[in-house]
Amino acid sequence: MLESFLQNLINALQWGSFYALIALGYTLVYGVLTLINFAHGDIFMVGAYIAFFAASFALTTLGLSGWAALALTIPITMILTAMVGVTLERIAYRPLRRKGANRLYVVITALMCGLILEHSNLAILGASRKAFPTLIDLKIYHIGGVTITNLNIAVILVTSLVFIMLHKIVTKTRVGMAMRAISYDKFAVPLMGIPLDNIIVITFILGSGLAGLAGLMFAMSYPVLEPYMGALIGWKAFIAAVVGGIGDIRGAFLGGFLLGAVEIMVVAFFPSTLRDLIAFTVLLVILTLRPTGLFGIAKTTKI
């Protein structure tokens, strides 16, 4: 009993890590721009594909060993994915923001950008699935009755590290303070001499870079890639971010793990087809009871 609980816990932590990493991206952008970046799930998918090409290139063309290839793939993936995110921001969102367009139009644009990413991938690479190459050999440890792989540990560790770093960045650095300031008052911030656009770009770099990292780790853990992989995970991670209280980094992290835990527990006790149903129902109930999420602060309307 304890063993199966621990086993499920580890699975939940790993599965939740992906949600948490993607949810962090949603929450960062939302916190700064109050924009739901609906393209974020697809940026995660693009990240996984970039990782695929980078890893294949490093392994076959350059003939590097697995570890060296991984060391090369991580920065390349993160940088290129961050560039995709920033490009979207520059081309699609910024002009709208400059015009002072209704927030809804930016959301629609984001939704459409996601579709474009998804389907241009499908159009260029075709519908066939891609198998991600093995970069590092899977080591399986048996501790008691619990099975842990080195990948499990790596994913959980990396996610926790990212969280700590991000938390430090947002609470301790000047950039982080500027980010929080923007989320309070977008109009006062430029008057205080903070370069609004630079901060927004940094936010997109952070968010998309993390999505790229998540894409890489996801591809290593579940080495089958397809263009629609980002959509469902993206929607769910977004919901996780909202359940945690969107705009709050702790909330995104917690929401991601909560969602991971719910899904793993459902699969452990029920037929796996019920996974989405129960996960979404739990989230709906949480949101109905606590409309602003676990960490969210209710925006009071002043009259």
Token code pair at residue 215: 């894409």
Which of the residues 3 through 42 are near another protein (CB under 8 A)? Answer: 30, 34, 36
Out of 62, 71, 108, 161, which residue is the one contacting another protein (CB under 8 A)? 108
- When asked if residue 284 is in the footprint of another protein (CB under 8 A), the reply is yes
In this chain, which of 61, 184, 192, 288 binds another protein, going by CB under 8 A? 288
CB of 302 to another protein, least distance (A): 9
Given 32, 76, 113, 211, the residue binding another protein (CB under 8 A): 113
Q: What is the SS3 assignment for the chain? A: CHHHHHHHHHHHHHHHHHHHHHHHHHHHHHHHHCCCCCCHHHHHHHHHHHHHHHHHHHHHHCCCCHHHHHHHHHHHHHHHHHHHHHHHHHHHHHHHHHCCCCHHHHHHHHHHHHHHHHHHHHHHHCCCCEECCCCCCCCEEEECCEEEEHHHHHHHHHHHHHHHHHHHHHHHCHHHHHHHHHHHCCCHHHHCCCCHHHHHHHHHHHHHHHHHHHHHHHHHHCCEECCCHHHHHHHHHHHHHHHHCCCCHHHHHHHHHHHHHHHHHHHHHCCHHHHHHHHHHHHHHHHHHCCCCCCCCCCCCCC
Q: Point out which span in 73-81, 104-112, 132-140, 200-208 binds another protein (CB under 8 A).
A: 104-112
Q: Which stretch binds another protein (CB under 8 A): 49-57, 88-96, 138-146, 216-224?
A: 88-96
What is the rounded distance in angstroms from the CA atom of residue 88 to the CA atom of residue 200? Answer: 12
- Would you say 123 or 164 has its CB closer to another protein? 123
By CB under 8 A, tell whether 123 contacts another protein: yes
Binding to another protein by residue 297, rule CB under 8 A?
Answer: no
51 scored as a contact of another protein (CB under 8 A): no
Smallest gap from residue 121 Cβ to another protein (A): 10
Both tokens assigned to 21: 């990493």
Stretch that binds another protein, among 54-62, 108-116, 166-174, 261-269 (CB under 8 A): 108-116
Give the integer Cα–Cα distance in Å for 225 and 216: 11
Q: How far apart are CA 95 and CA 232, in angstroms?
A: 28
User: Which pair of tokens denotes residue 286?
Assistant: 């949480």
For another protein, the closer of residues 91 and 165 by Cβ is: 91
- Contact window for another protein (CB under 8 A) among 106-114, 131-139, 171-179, 211-219: 106-114
Site for another protein in 213-272 (CB under 8 A): 231, 235, 238-239, 242, 246, 271
Whose Cβ is closer to another protein: residue 41's or residue 176's? 41
Q: Which residue type, as a one-letter code, is found at position 87?
A: T
**How many residues line the site for another protein (CB under 8 A)?**
46
Report how far Cα 47 is from the mean position of its chain's Cα atoms: 10
Quick one: which of 9, 53, 280, 294 contacts another protein (CB under 8 A)?
Answer: 280
In angstroms, what is the minimal distance from the CB of 213 to another protein?
Answer: 24
Residues binding another protein (CB under 8 A): 30, 34, 36, 92, 95-96, 99, 101-102, 104-105, 107-109, 111-113, 115-116, 118-120, 122-123, 231, 235, 238-239, 242, 246, 271, 273-274, 276-277, 280-281, 283-284, 287-288, 291-293, 301, 303
